[in-house]
Amino acid sequence: MSRPYEKGKLCEWELIKILRLSGFVCIRSPGSGRGKRTWYPDVVAVRNGRAIFIEVKCFSDDRHVPIPLEKFKRMIWLSKHAGVRFFICVKYEDIGSFRCVDLNSYDSVGEKYVMYRREKILSGRDPKDLEA
């Protein structure tokens, strides 16, 4: 298993633990972003009969959050067709906690990436406060 995959998996489980303690039932999609043909959200969380999709990111530095454009388009499609809100949840090691923003709250779209600025992520919601 590759080191980035292992780090991402541990990060996903850390977020799932927080969500479960807040009353969510969670499902993790193993290898969710690894294939080119299919793609699933990292975590599906359900509370009070309503689901949310979550893309999880962890960074050891203070960079902005890039999402590959093609992946972003699939996330939008999935959210629209499933009728489910989609969040980007990020943990920066220097902050030590997760912050979450709505998928549609990106800052810019380039040729290859959709970018979420660190400042926007840091002003996002605590995962315990996410609602569908």
pTM for the full predicted model: 0.91
pLDDT (0 to 100) of residue 32 = 53
- Which CATH architecture fits 3-129? 3-Layer(aba) Sandwich (3.40)
CB-CB neighbours of 105 under 10 Å? 13
pLDDT score of 61 more than 60:
yes
Each residue's pLDDT tens digit, 89-119: 999 999 999 999 999 999 999 999 999 999 9
Q: What whole-number distance in Å separates Cα of residue 95 and Cα of residue 60? A: 10
Average pLDDT of 43-58? 96
Domain residue ranges in the chain: 3-129
Q: What whole-number distance in Å separates Cα of residue 71 and Cα of residue 132? A: 21
